Amino acid sequence: MSVPLAPPRLRPVVAALLAGGALAFLAAGALAPDLPFRDSMALAARFWGANRTTRLLNAPGFAREAAFARHVLDLDAAWPLASDAVLVAGPDVSRERADALLRKAAYLLAPRRVALCRGQEEGVRLLRAPGPGEEGR
């Protein structure tokens, strides 16, 4: 059983109406304001007026661990790109938190590799991994 199609002359008109309706639906969603325009412009001015560090530290994923992120950024500036890092998490640090800190350190220290190691001391430390021909640090 075949479904009758629109006559060939009406097909472009039907296609244009469908495409126009879809674009109108998308445009209506895009025009709905999330923030008042003044607040949106103030937020944009704060973002573009900030430097790399403050822009990153205000990001939601790093704001909760701002001290850790600031320390990692300092190490990033001090260490050569060829060196890797080891995140040492003590017994008081849960596996989930250690994994989250590992992901953040790997993001901030890229292109370096960051490995997770369990230590005996409390807290979290980030150490430079010994490179080829170097003693442990």
Distances from the Cα of 132 to the Cα of 58, 82, 83, 84, angstroms: 36, 10, 9, 11
What residue segments make up the domains of the chain, in order of their start?
52-128
> Cα separation of 66 and 68, whole Å?
5
pLDDT on residue 37: 79
Which CATH architecture is the domain 52-128 placed in?
2-Layer Sandwich (3.30)
Of residues 130 and 107, which shows the higher confidence score?
107
pLDDT in tens, 26-82: 887 777 667 777 887 887 787 778 787 777 777 777 878 888 998 999 999 999 988
Assign 91 to helix, strand or coil.
coil
